[in-house]
Structure 1
């Protein structure tokens, strides 16, 4: 049976998925770690893939090799036993925090599938996963400069400004264009306060031009806007209101309240990216009511600030172009280093050179160029974070505040004079000890912090219940999140209205509704029944809030388990003890002082920037990094040179082994044609089998398209995409490795995943729905092949 590289890849991947999904479901029910850590002949039949991954990837990790001797896995088993007793599967809405667990399990499953796909090779030839960014062609082999430059320009939506411009902000184009001071008389004295002038342009579907609307709002009105929106949309995660900036050290005093203007603009744009918020009367009134034309003086000031905004964007583009150009220049030399890393023990050889070479200027040419590559990229990240980003003012304030609070000198003295492991272990004992069976300090701190969150949730719940004004309905919602789902029952993938109606009809949850209450909500899905719909929507919001509170209470019960503290102590001992020994030998105390000096230097560079003129600001950041890179290299050199325990050699050897394993796979390749025949699939069924494989390819293409679309829409910060892109630029361009990395890009996790699982049905966000909500194709033939495939692979793995 002839299959192209993509068909071959996704056919094999589905065969792996069929088995792995069953194993994961089984281990989640049993939570027996011994089946994986200490397998027997019996359990090897139940978990062949998970056991293989555990034995070859997890337990081989250098810092976990002693885990069995220290009893770590026994304590972890006790922790899982306690976890399994918690009320996790209750009647909770899909958009509650429970979806985070579903996303995480989804990511774990995909990671395991990718690992096995990389390990299991076929005799049929090359495989290829779908790569949307390269037009379906592998990234490896881009030898000419034009292709490389084209690949580097895939990050055109990195900046917040470009991203929000691309999103369209739900038909709103927002800017805080200028400020003005207004005087008012309070009792006897006259007070002056600043108003921020907001420009709102409506983006019409037909492309017609609509005159902008200008309104003036005080900082306190922005805060009131958030409070009003929080009451109207209690289930949405709204951005926080930025604190007022202090412009005392600004060189451009005539640009009054410029830092506040930038931060408040970012706040409005992030709000407008939420569909419900952007279309709400609260938000529209804030942007439209009490409008006025700009005066000549205000227009002049707005033009000056607009020019400055354009300069910031252009400077970021120039710096990005400089980074791209440098990568192209270094590509040939870096390619030599990449090829060396992919050779057996290649990574160890590279760090062996670092171990023996004390200064950067003594390194081989390709390693010096790699450091030059890292210098300009790190400088770009710093420049973006602290100069050109709309959040740069907030980032600078956070940097200065954190730097001022850090006791660098004290930390350095402690690390220089004492045993770091003993010291931190003592601190852990202090935090985790439970005198006379009472709460530990750690538990009390957690309880205090979570109590604040609980108070806010309780307040939101009380306000919403008062609005609903039907205690029995509210009680049924509260009881739902405390009621466990019967075995085998899952909540249907429906709209929030339908899901809530199904919950209200459920006679297993008290109280049972009266006929009057049933009539009150029954027609929420019917056109024209606005009152019933509003009521059910409010009940759904209440349901989400109660689910969040339930999740918090469950988490707290786990924190208060004694075994949790024991796990934290063991994790610290396993991971920190060997690192602490190496870092002490490398004089990490002196390096703490270098960090403090670097941050001081960074702050001086930032303060020297002209807020009004940000042109030609790239080079100071490049010079900053270059001034400190020798000291950083010295620390890296010392760590490896002083590592008597061979810890880092073992870690590098582990990574080197992974690279080699991805390239070569398990010892013997499998023959899919032979497996298909042994599974009893006749030649007459081949067209149907190919049709199923094509459906799988289409499904995975849709998944990747949806993931890419979400990724683009979530570029609200300026560095995430840049960081991931630069990592791809430097990693070895081995075809198998790049294929794995292409698939790995889909399993990154962030907090927006939870919202995008249900955004397609709830309408609460303009993010496209999460790819895990796509339904895979219904298969008939491939499931018949899977057992034979697993049997073949298991025989090879035993070798």
Structure 2
């Protein structure tokens, strides 16, 4: 009997075939007729002539895409907001028409531009989510993932011998604005000018000794101007506004200090830089406090808020590799170093380190409070978890919100979860407005916005106006097309696209000048704008001749890719290609090549990429002004806003506007008091409690909003919970019928479709690879955690009360969930190695230099994953795809 006979084999065979099936279905969405193949409510495309000259039939429209068809009919069309949408008017006349128009625009793919597009990343994310959903929902009988070997252990962080400053390196540098000193200069007879200078300590990766420099605020302004000149058009971190506000603290003289203290946010206030204000800055003064053994003194800490915002600014600069290596920043951090520090300067730096340590300690206290409260409430959390994961759990939880008008009326386990949530919110508010380096500026902006916001006016508008009339008026304002002209919303979007297009076209014009041959440039332009069939023939020619696409393009005689080049022009292209290849192979040095020729070929590649981008922008603008686009936007806004407007009107949401206003008033007063309290180094405990009391005072106001919305929802939220629970039920219980992979495998072997021995070898290799990947992911995660612990020291567990929840509680395959999380983490660590943001930055560089940097980054990413187990071939197993699709189609149709 040709059965699989192994739970691991069965599990991973299902995953291999399911992954391949979903890849095929997502790829089919590139076809303009893809939605027609999903079946009703979309229109069939029988004998419909498409733009690429092929005729599409609807004979398989309900069976070709079983996965996507199931997702649409079960989870998209049944979404509560979309249930009342007219199938013909919305899905056929709006969504289908828009999607077909988008597909026919042929927006370039990642392959076209040799870079990772946003659509590709989004597609990868959707693919992972669908595999996660259907690998859980489509059961295959006795199946089981490979277990994690018991020998896997958590490595302990090695003892760190370097200073803590060296552990904070970003792009080879670590920086801290460690202190502020007052400098007095004699200007005229009997006149002196006093100003503050910030003491900046910089560590470099290759040098252990730090560099300390003193810089006035004006030097930061000059640095910003120099960076803007050095990198024109590049977005730069905003320079904090000038703030001369001092702080008075109660402190003591420590025996030693570290100029690299933990970061802390600060507040920034606008003030001018005038000579008259200079007398506001006085040297630190101290006066003895009551006699204690700890030598307590009061100190005026100058420009503390400014110090913190400038530190955040410098660290933001270091996060950008280009800015970190810029000439302007190097001179700013290293020129005119201080040879020694005075005792007053050392005392000032010690005091500021103490303040930084206190802020870090306050944040740790919030985390510790959350942990203690979670441990205290673990029994209640277990009860809440049980209710959450069982059938109709969400509906029961939200029904309690509907029935109870205050927090005190809720079941005890719900109150405890809300209590833990208050601690988290308190910690977030403290971090936003007090403990982060940029908190002072953020707090100033928040106060300004709060003072200007017309809460009372908005309350009365919501209270007395008709929300549906307001919605229609808003739609008319933004989406109306007077006299057939573009709507306001279309003009807003088109303005952004036009600005981007102008920049691209300006770059194209500059490159054309550098190339200096209109025939070569026109050939690239005509290729980009040629039809898909012509482009495909040129790509096939490049593959057959094993040459670069640009070389094949220049040699082709395709009439659509005119003009035909003469001998000298072709020779110039060939020489440029040889020089480019030689330069890249030698990494720009060590081999003889013509640099001008190499750059010329780089300009060809740049022109091809930029012309493709320009075409994409033109196509998007054409799509934006298409009638189907504006109609779809109007329908979507109406569909989603109308039920919410009814709920908010019935629930008297206008009262919640003033509740939020009072919460904002209280928050601002609390933060202002916290800023005064943080000046005393013994007030940390009260500071934590102050923010906890703030959220406690307003919890019932926020809960009243939730209660009123659910009490007057007209069944909207109940439908939404039922929709979510239907997904959870599919995950936990699966489809109505299970896959029979043993029969599938046996029938394929008997029919001669499958080579049994070869298939089993591939399948065992897949099982082994998944076991290796499980260990690899675990060890990599442990190394990352160990490294963070070594850098940051002992970390406090936040005590997340639902931390014991896992994907398995909701029916998900935990291995699949970990795999998705690993892929996302890898994307973040690898960065946009070939992403659009990086590519756009490199367009400003010399093309040869840009390509060398791009390849260096690719090698670094490849090195990062060099030891990662590589997936085995599955060519034989994929011969089961057709019959597997049939089983899936039949099971999902019955579900």
Q: Corresponding residue for 1:781?
A: 876
Q: Partners in 2 of 1:607 and 1:491 — Cα distance?
A: 68
Deviations 1:150-180 (A, max 9, x none): 9xx99xxxxxxx9x97673133222222345
**Residues 389/92 of structure 1: CA separation in 2 closer, same or farther (3 Å cut):** farther
- Is 2:640 the counterpart of 1:571? no
Task: Report if the CA contact (8 A) 2:178-2:199 is conserved.
Answer: yes
Shift of 1:797: 1.8
Where 1:174 maps in the other structure, the secondary structure is strand
Q: Corresponding residue for 1:81?
A: 100
- Is 2:425 the counterpart of 1:386? no
Q: Corresponding residue for 2:171?
A: 170
Q: Partners in 1 of 2:772 and 2:479 — Cα distance?
A: 51
**Residues 541/172 of structure 1: CA separation in 2 closer, same or farther (3 Å cut):** farther
Pick the aligned partner of 2:887 from 780, 792, 799.
Answer: 792
What are the within-5 Å matches in structure 2 for residues 305-316 of structure 1? 305-316=352-363
If asked which structure has higher relative contact order (CA below 8 Å, sep 6+), I would say 1
Of 382-391 and 623-632, the range deviating more from structure 2: 382-391
Shift of 1:545: 6.7
Q: Corresponding residue for 1:684?
A: 757
Task: Report if the CA contact (8 A) 1:710-1:767 is conserved.
Answer: no
Of 437-446 and 727-736, the range deviating more from structure 2: 727-736
Task: Report if the CA contact (8 A) 1:338-1:732 is conserved.
Answer: no
**Residues 125/13 of structure 1: CA separation in 2 closer, same or farther (3 Å cut):** closer
Q: Corresponding residue for 1:673?
A: 742
Q: Partners in 1 of 2:507 and 2:188 — Cα distance?
A: 36
- Is 2:241 the counterpart of 1:244? yes
Q: Give the superposed CA RMSD.
A: 4.8
Task: Report if the CA contact (8 A) 1:91-1:481 is conserved.
Answer: no
Shift of 1:260: 3.5
Deviations 1:222-278 (A, max 9, x none): 46656665676679x755223315465966794433334323333333433344544
- Is 2:652 the counterpart of 1:587? yes
Count of matched residue pairs:
755
Shift of 1:371: 1.0
Task: Report if the CA contact (8 A) 2:515-2:603 is conserved.
Answer: no
Shift of 1:318: 2.5
**Residues 410/491 of structure 1: CA separation in 2 closer, same or farther (3 Å cut):** farther
Task: Report if the CA contact (8 A) 1:500-1:540 is conserved.
Answer: no
Of 267-276 and 575-584, the range deviating more from structure 2: 267-276
Greater C-alpha Rg = 2
**Residues 103/227 of structure 1: CA separation in 2 closer, same or farther (3 Å cut):** farther
Q: Partners in 1 of 2:239 and 2:540 — Cα distance?
A: 39
Q: Partners in 2 of 1:335 and 1:186 — Cα distance?
A: 72
Q: Corresponding residue for 1:266?
A: 312
Where 1:422 maps in the other structure, the secondary structure is helix
Q: Corresponding residue for 2:849?
A: none
Task: Report if the CA contact (8 A) 1:756-1:769 is conserved.
Answer: no
The normalised TM-score by structure 1 is 0.80
**Residues 42/14 of structure 1: CA separation in 2 closer, same or farther (3 Å cut):** same
Q: Partners in 2 of 1:489 and 1:330 — Cα distance?
A: 67
**Residues 649/83 of structure 1: CA separation in 2 closer, same or farther (3 Å cut):** same
Q: Corresponding residue for 2:536?
A: 487
Task: Report if the CA contact (8 A) 1:32-1:77 is conserved.
Answer: no
Pick the aligned partner of 2:490 from 426, 443, 446.
Answer: 443
What are the within-5 Å matches in structure 2 for residues 455-534 of structure 1? 469-472=514-517, 479=525, 482-483=528-529, 486-487=535-536, 503=550, 506-507=553-554, 515=571, 519=575, 521-522=579-580, 523-525=582-584, 526=586, 527-528=589-590, 531=595
Q: Partners in 1 of 2:777 and 2:619 — Cα distance?
A: 33
Q: Partners in 2 of 1:190 and 1:558 — Cα distance?
A: 66
Where 2:377 maps in the other structure, the secondary structure is helix
Task: Report if the CA contact (8 A) 1:10-1:697 is conserved.
Answer: no
Q: Corresponding residue for 1:664?
A: 733
Q: Corresponding residue for 2:31?
A: 29
Task: Report if the CA contact (8 A) 1:481-1:546 is conserved.
Answer: no
Where 1:292 maps in the other structure, the secondary structure is coil
Q: Corresponding residue for 2:209?
A: 211
**Residues 797/284 of structure 1: CA separation in 2 closer, same or farther (3 Å cut):** same
Task: Report if the CA contact (8 A) 1:524-1:536 is conserved.
Answer: no
- Is 2:692 the counterpart of 1:622? yes
**Residues 92/778 of structure 1: CA separation in 2 closer, same or farther (3 Å cut):** closer
Deviations 1:639-678 (A, max 9, x none): 11222x2111111111122222211111222233332222
- Is 2:396 the counterpart of 1:327? no
**Any unmatched runs of 5+ in structure 1?**
138-149, 155-161, 493-498, 716-720
Deviations 1:695-751 (A, max 9, x none): 355568768988999999999xxxxx9999777567787162472654554676999
Where 1:678 maps in the other structure, the secondary structure is helix
Deviations 1:566-602 (A, max 9, x none): 2121111111111111111111111111112212222
Deviations 1:594-643 (A, max 9, x none): 11221222222222223655833322222111111101111111111222
Deviations 1:87-141 (A, max 9, x none): 5227987576x6111101111121122111121112124447989xx9989xxxx
Q: Partners in 1 of 2:138 and 2:599 — Cα distance?
A: 54
**Residues 692/284 of structure 1: CA separation in 2 closer, same or farther (3 Å cut):** same
Q: Corresponding residue for 1:52?
A: 70
- Is 2:135 the counterpart of 1:117? yes
**Residues 789/558 of structure 1: CA separation in 2 closer, same or farther (3 Å cut):** same
What are the within-5 Å matches in structure 2 for residues 62-81 of structure 1? 62-69=80-87, 71-73=89-91, 74-81=93-100
- Is 2:339 the counterpart of 1:293? yes
Q: Partners in 2 of 1:723 and 1:79 — Cα distance?
A: 46
Q: Partners in 1 of 2:600 and 2:238 — Cα distance?
A: 30
